[in-house]
Amino acid sequence: MHIIITGTRGIPNHHGGFERFAEEVARRWAAQGHRVEVYNPAGHPFSGDTWQGIKILRKPLPHHILGKFAVLTYDRLCLRDAYCRRPDVILNCGHGNAFFIRKKYPIPVVTLTDGLEWKRAGWHPLVRCFFRQTEKTAVKRSRAVVADHPEIARWLKKKYGISPEIISYGAEIPPKTFFKEPFTPRERLKQYLRDKIENSYGVTLTETLLPGRYFMTITRFVPENNLHIILEGYANAGIPYPLLLIGDPDNRYGKKLLKKYAGMPQVLFTGPVYNKNLLTLFIHYSRGYLHGHSSGGTNPALLEAMAAGGLIAAHDNPFNRYVLGKETLYFSSTGDVSRLLKEWDTYLKKKDVLVRQNQERIRQEYSWEKVAGQYLKLFGTLTGD
């Protein structure tokens, strides 16, 4: 089968959730003998023509000329070129480019929706209106729509009367040997750290992060990820353990938090990190992982935290409860965060049980092999293969 993936910023992942998804499913399809092609922006760090059997196609992403509108230009060029290549199916990640999906065209387009984008508090009202329209257009023009969470599927059915496919994101549990090389945990962390990360925002991570003695989160700096709640709750708790925030704070919300908590040496802003091994180590050796996401389906970072063996406290909402189940620690306010952090020693006694439960959920429900297979089955129903 000839499959083209559009709607991402390229592989290997140097951006976010869609890119991680694309690299994981694409390499599995390629390993099974399918012809897979993925679009990368011209400035992507990876310069090769193929990656793990996947053909890399390049189109310009002219941020320096068009600013934020460059993404629309890039998406338009990618979709137009994809149609010209006449694949069996196009997998389109997100619906921001839905206006470029051709009506009643013989090549089927499968759109993986990106949660409820128009609900995000950080967006300008005009941007939210735009995403409402692109969501509607994607539903009308796509041959099939995929939701990564039952709550998203329920919304799409209620709003548009469709029954989308429900296919989640995935995660991969690291082999036990990953944590049993002849290095101490601290040395393993130091081995994977990069100068770029250490120099970001003037912190020296290797001298601060001791295994089991820091909390952390991996996040986008947007209001619906509740970093303001996590940070205020952490500040009020008065605990001696640092809080590590991995993500890009280069927006209004992020800069506001940077300014407010710059005087707290225990709060460490690292900037974005895309090294999968490094992230796995950070999570595995952390004292606890705080997950604040509250909007938009199954969150890839949450699945990664479950797979890596982190002790998780998550924002209390239907998205997270569906993924984690009843036994996990939950918070809804700064007071909840403070209380949980102060009582964390009690919860550490249950860590082994909670980690086993989470990793079993990954094996049964969220493995990348299962996700890749579900998409191939869907593609087969659309193409007759």
User: 176-365 belongs to which homologous superfamily?
Assistant: Glycogen Phosphorylase B; (3.40.50.2000)
Q: Backbone phi, then psi, for 266, in 5-degree steps?
A: -80, -15
Q: Are strands 288-291 and 50-51 parallel, antiparallel or unpaired?
A: unpaired
* Whole-number Å distance between alpha carbons of 74 and 67: 12
Sign, CA dihedral 330-254-8-224, equals positive
Contacts of 329 (CB under 8 A, 6+ apart): 311, 312, 313, 314, 340, 347
Where do runs of H (alpha helix) occur along the chain? 17-31, 63-66, 70-85, 125-141, 150-160, 185-192, 195-199, 227-237, 252-261, 276-284, 300-308, 318-324, 334-342, 344-348, 351-365, 368-383
Contact 144, 165 (CB under 8 A): yes
Nearest to 283 by CA among 300, 258, 301, 266: 301
* Whole-number Å distance between alpha carbons of 159 and 153: 10
- Structural domain 2-170+367-383, CATH architecture: 3-Layer(aba) Sandwich (3.40)
Contact 78, 94 (CB under 8 A): no
* Whole-number Å distance between alpha carbons of 325 and 175: 24
Counting as low any pLDDT under 70, the low residues of the chain are 63-69, 115-124, 181-209
pTM (predicted TM-score): 0.88
- What's the confidence (pLDDT) of residue 70? 78
Contact 109, 86 (CB under 8 A): no
**Residue 137: how many CB atoms within 10 A of its CB?**
18
Contact 273, 197 (CB under 8 A): yes
Nearest to 112 by CA among 83, 163, 146: 146
**Residue 251: how many CB atoms within 10 A of its CB?**
12
**Residue 336: how many CB atoms within 10 A of its CB?**
17
Q: What angle do CA 13, 14, 20 make, to 5 degrees?
A: 30
Report residue 193 as tokens.
């750290």
Contacts of 171 (CB under 8 A, 6+ apart): 300, 303, 304, 306, 307, 362, 366, 367, 368
Report residue 13 as tokens.
């992942």
Contact 21, 51 (CB under 8 A): no
- Give one DSSP letter per residue of 166-205, joined into a string: E----B-PPPGGGG-SSS-HHHHHHHH--HHHHHGGG--G
Q: Residue 133 to residues 126, 127, 138, 161: CA-CA distances in angstroms?
A: 11, 10, 9, 16
- What's the confidence (pLDDT) of residue 234? 98
C-alpha 273, offset from chain centre: 12
> For the chain, where do the domains classified as CATH 3.40.50.2000 start and end?
2-170+367-383, 176-365
Rounded to 10 deg, the angle between the 276-284 and 185-192 helix axes is 150
- What's the confidence (pLDDT) of residue 196? 44
- What's the confidence (pLDDT) of residue 195? 47
- What's the confidence (pLDDT) of residue 194? 47
Contact 213, 316 (CB under 8 A): no
Within 13 Å, how many C-alpha atoms sit on residue 216's CB side?
A: 29
* Whole-number Å distance between alpha carbons of 117 and 135: 9
* Whole-number Å distance between alpha carbons of 162 and 78: 27
